[in-house]
Structure 1
Amino acid sequence: MTTKYPYHERLAFNLLSICLIGLIIYLGQDILLPLFFSVLLSSLLLPVVSFLERKRMMKSIAIFITVAAAVLIGLATIYFLANQAAHFFGDFKEIKQQLASLFSKIQRWLSSTLNIGIRTQNQYIAETTGQMKESSPQLVGSTFLSLTQVLTYLGLVPIYTFLLLYYKPLIGKFITSLFPNGSKSSVLKIVTECQVISRSYLSGLFFDFVIVFALNTLGFVILGIKYAVFLALVAALLNLVPYVGMLIANVFCMAITLITSQFSRCIVGSSYSRHRAADRQQHTHPMGSR
Structure 2
Amino acid sequence: MQEQIKDRSIRNAARLLTLALIVTICYVLQSILVPILFAVILSVLLLPLCERFEKWGFNRAFASLTALILAILVLVGIGYLIVSQTLNITEDASDIANKIKSLIMRILEWTSDKFNMSTNELIQRAESEMGNSASTIGGFATSVLNSIGNSLAYGLLVPIMIFFFLYYREFFKEFFFRVFSATPQGKIEEVLSKIYDVLQNYLVGLISVMGIVAVLNTIGLMILGIEYAWFFGILAAMLTIFPYVGIFIGSLIPALFALATKDSAWYALGVVLWFQLVQTLEGNFITPKIVGGKASLNPLVSLLSFFLGGMLFGISGMILALPLLAMLKVIFDAMPSTAPYGFLLSEPDDSYIVTQQQIRKRKEKENKKKQKRKQE
What's the TM-score, normalizing by structure 1? 0.91
Please tell me the residue identity of whatever aligns with 1:191. L
Give the distance between the partners of 2:8 and 2:286, measured in 1 at CA.
39
Residues 247, 277 of structure 1: 8 Å contact kept: no
Residues 95, 259 of structure 1: 8 Å contact kept: yes
Partner residue of 1:188? 189
Please tell me the residue identity of whatever aligns with 1:276. V
Give the distance between the partners of 1:169 and 1:220, measured in 2 at CA.
47
Shift of 1:284: 8.5
Partner residue of 2:93? 92
For residues 228-278 of structure 1, give each alpha carbon's deviation from its aligned partner in whole angstroms, at most 9, with x where no partner exists: 122112211112211121122222221111111231434433432343344
Give the distance between the partners of 2:180 and 2:243, measured in 1 at CA.
35
Residues 88, 230 of structure 1: 8 Å contact kept: no
Give the distance between the partners of 2:21 and 2:57, measured in 1 at CA.
45
Give the distance between the partners of 2:244 and 2:75, measured in 1 at CA.
24
**In 2 relative to 1, CA 135–11 (structure 1 residues): closer, same or farther, beyond 3 Å?**
closer
Partner residue of 1:23? 24
Shift of 1:195: 0.5
Partner residue of 1:106? 107
Cα RMSD (Å): 2.2
Greater mean deviation of Cα atoms: 149-158 or 112-121:
112-121
Please tell me the residue identity of whatever aligns with 2:40. V
Where do residues 5-20 of structure 1 align in structure 2 (5 Å cutoff)? 6-20=7-21
Q: Which runs of 5+ in 1 are unaligned?
A: none
**In 2 relative to 1, CA 23–251 (structure 1 residues): closer, same or farther, beyond 3 Å?**
same
Give the distance between the partners of 1:271 and 1:256, measured in 2 at CA.
15
Which structure's relative contact order is higher, taking Cα pairs within 8 Å and 6+ residues apart? 1
Partner residue of 2:275? 273
Residues 213, 237 of structure 2: 8 Å contact kept: yes
Residues 242, 285 of structure 1: 8 Å contact kept: no
Give the distance between the partners of 1:88 and 1:51, measured in 2 at CA.
41
Please tell me the residue identity of whatever aligns with 1:271. L
- Answering whether residue 224 of structure 2 is matched by residue 214 of structure 1, we say no
**In 2 relative to 1, CA 21–285 (structure 1 residues): closer, same or farther, beyond 3 Å?**
farther
3-state SS, counterpart of residue 76 of structure 1: helix
**In 2 relative to 1, CA 15–259 (structure 1 residues): closer, same or farther, beyond 3 Å?**
same
For residues 3-31 of structure 1, give each alpha carbon's deviation from its aligned partner in whole angstroms, at most 9, with x where no partner exists: x9922332232122112211111011111
Partner residue of 2:160? 159
Give the distance between the partners of 1:187 and 1:72, measured in 2 at CA.
35
Partner residue of 2:41? 40
Shift of 1:139: 4.5
Q: Which runs of 5+ in 2 are unaligned?
A: 295-376
Partner residue of 2:180? 179
Shift of 1:65: 0.8
3-state SS, counterpart of residue 57 of structure 1: coil
Give the distance between the partners of 2:91 and 2:60, measured in 1 at CA.
46
3-state SS, counterpart of residue 116 of structure 2: coil
Residues 38, 158 of structure 1: 8 Å contact kept: yes
Percent identity reads 27
**In 2 relative to 1, CA 285–123 (structure 1 residues): closer, same or farther, beyond 3 Å?**
farther
Give the distance between the partners of 2:268 and 2:188, measured in 1 at CA.
55
- Answering whether residue 175 of structure 2 is matched by residue 145 of structure 1, we say no
Residues 209, 282 of structure 2: 8 Å contact kept: no
Give the distance between the partners of 2:272 and 2:173, measured in 1 at CA.
51
What's the TM-score, normalizing by structure 2? 0.71
Partner residue of 2:291? 288
**In 2 relative to 1, CA 137–246 (structure 1 residues): closer, same or farther, beyond 3 Å?**
closer
**In 2 relative to 1, CA 9–133 (structure 1 residues): closer, same or farther, beyond 3 Å?**
closer
Shift of 1:180: 3.7
Where do residues 66-85 of structure 1 align in structure 2 (5 Å cutoff)? 66-85=67-86
Partner residue of 2:324? none
Give the distance between the partners of 2:18 and 2:273, measured in 1 at CA.
51
Partner residue of 1:248? 249
Post-superposition, which runs of at least 4 consecutive aligned residues in structure 1 deviate over 6 A?
none
Residues 217, 275 of structure 2: 8 Å contact kept: no
Give the distance between the partners of 2:197 and 2:123, measured in 1 at CA.
57
Q: How many residues align?
A: 287
Where do residues 226-237 of structure 1 align in structure 2 (5 Å cutoff)? 226-237=227-238
**In 2 relative to 1, CA 121–80 (structure 1 residues): closer, same or farther, beyond 3 Å?**
same
